[in-house]
Amino acid sequence: MTRAGESAATVWLVIQSTQQSNTSPQAQVVRYRIEVELEKPEDRWLLSGIKGTGTENE
pLDDT at 25: 83
Show contacts of 14-23: CB within 8 Å, 24+ apart.
14/56
pLDDT value for 14: 92
Q: Give the type of residue at 21.
A: S
Label each residue of 9-58 as H, E or C: EEEEEEEEEEEEECCEEEEEEEEEEEEEEEECCCCCCEEEEEEEEEECCC
pLDDT of residue 50: 95
What's the CA gap between 17 and 15, in Å, rounded?
A: 7
What's the one-letter identity of residue 31?
Answer: R
Taking 70 as the pLDDT cut, the residues of the chain under it are 1, 56-58
- The pTM (predicted TM-score) of the whole model is 0.65
Q: State percent of the chain over pLDDT 90.
A: 60
